[in-house]
Amino acid sequence: MLLSDYDQAAVRRARAAHQKLLDFHNDRKRNPPAPRTGRLFHYTSAAGIKGIIENNELWASSAYFLNDPTEVIYGYSVLKDVLDGWIAQNQQPENSLSLGIARDFQRSFEQDISNTGVIRPIYLACFCEEDNLLSQWRTYGEQGGYSLGFQVPAPDLTAGQGFKPEPTTLTSKWVKVEYDRDEQIKKCGAVLESLLAIFDDPATGEAVANIGSHPLFGYPVLRQTLADILMEEIVGFKNQAFEVEKEWRVVVRQRELTKQGTDDGGKTPTRVHFRSSRGTLVPYVKLVPTDPASKLPIACVRSGPTLDKATAGMAVGMMLYANGFTGVRVQGSDIPVRF
């Protein structure tokens, strides 16, 4: 069916609804949170820092293979609770488009949400607001831990990390983790209330039904756009038990509202690598400098409290110099603890 064959009045109304979704998304991007010091810190082992500096790359691991494999599923559970509440409290007509979309999402949650048909692949590189946090040293201290300070460009935290995913089929974005469940529920509720209200108009519902699966503004496109906006919200949710981590993350995934570098309809496969950890394989993608001729934006390195500061600092300084990193401050932790 040609685009010209659709009811053009219905297409215009559906396009207007889609534009409202985009306007909402763009408005929320304008004032992203920024780290207090302008830097975020990536904790890693001795083997990890060696690989980062020598290969000039970071790894973003699959969200389903992290220390807490329920991280992404946790965000969906919060959204499900909010969605159930919205459906129960909003007495919409049975033919309401907003109610239909809400129920459509509700049915999807009844599936196994770890299924790739429900959740698309997500890769995370984790950072911390502090470079000398005891809880982080406890994780990496047994084999000698390090924290690498990365300069965070401001004010653009959406695409200006100084590095990018190696597969240009994906995009990356800084996200500050939210731990407070009440605040998580509030954020999800605000998004749902604003976006589902767009579809309350009976004329909009009739127009969307009229154009069916229109490739630009039909129901599947509207639903996927709404799903993408919701994913941007919940991917930063984490159980409050992890609040001590003070985490930020670079979230790498395919985004409907941000065109990837290679937009060829999926013909270019995502290049996924694998590493071993705790007796299992962990999928990951590489994060490489935005400019291939430049280095990762590492501003400082701190060695953990179990290492001799002078020796550790000398070794890191030598490795940085040997691999072309300049102007990087190296220091050790003064926390008086032994692991």
- The phi and psi torsions of 13 (rounded to 5 degrees) equal -70, -40
- Number of C-alpha atoms within 13 angstroms, CB side, residue 39? 18
The mean pLDDT of 188-202, rounded to a whole number, is 93
Q: Which residue has the higher pLDDT, 1 or 227?
A: 227
Task: State the average pLDDT over residues 176-188.
Answer: 95
Higher-confidence residue of 326 and 264: namely: 326
Query: What phi and psi, each to the nearest 5 degrees, are found at residue 2?
Result: -75, 155
Contacts 24+ apart (CB under 8 A), 11-15: 11/207, 11/211, 11/214, 11/217, 13/203, 13/204, 13/207, 14/204, 14/207, 14/208, 14/211, 14/214, 14/217, 14/218, 14/222, 15/216, 15/217
Element (H, E) at 207: helix 202-211
CA distances from 48 to 52, 54, 61, 148, 311 (A): 6, 10, 13, 10, 18
Mean pLDDT score of the chain: 87
- Residue pLDDT, tens place only, 276-304: 877 888 899 999 998 889 999 999 999 99
Higher pLDDT, 310 or 215: 215
Check: CB of residue 302 under 8 Å from CB of residue 131.
yes
Against a cut of 0.85, is the pTM above it? yes
Q: Which residues pair with 44 in a beta bridge?
A: 146
Query: In Å, what is the CA distance from 20 to each residue of 52, 207, 250?
Result: 42, 15, 27
- Give Cα separations from 49 to 15, 135, 140, 243 (angstroms): 49, 19, 11, 25
Omega prior to 35 cis, within 30 of 0: no
Confidence of residue 338 (pLDDT cuts 50, 70, 90): low
Tell me how far apart the alpha carbons of residues 3 and 61 are, in angstroms, rounded to a whole number.
41
Output the pLDDT for position 192: 93
Task: Identify the pLDDT of residue 117.
Answer: 46
Residue 338 domain-assigned?
no
Identify whether 339 is part of a domain.
Answer: no
Residue 324 lies in a domain: yes
If one counts the domains in the chain, the total is 1
3-state secondary structure of 292: coil
Q: Is residue 337 included in any domain, yes or no?
A: no
Question: By the 8 A CB rule, do 192 and 199 touch?
Answer: no
Q: Could you please report the per-residue DSSP string of 58-82? A: EEEEEGGGSSSTTHHHHHHHHHHHH
What's the pLDDT tens digit per position in 93-125?
A: 888 999 999 999 988 876 655 554 445 788 999
Per-residue pLDDT of 132-173, as tens digits, reads 999 899 887 666 689 999 998 765 555 567 888 987 788 888
Range of the structural domain that residue 70 is part of: 3-259+267-332
CB atoms within 10 A of CB 42: 23
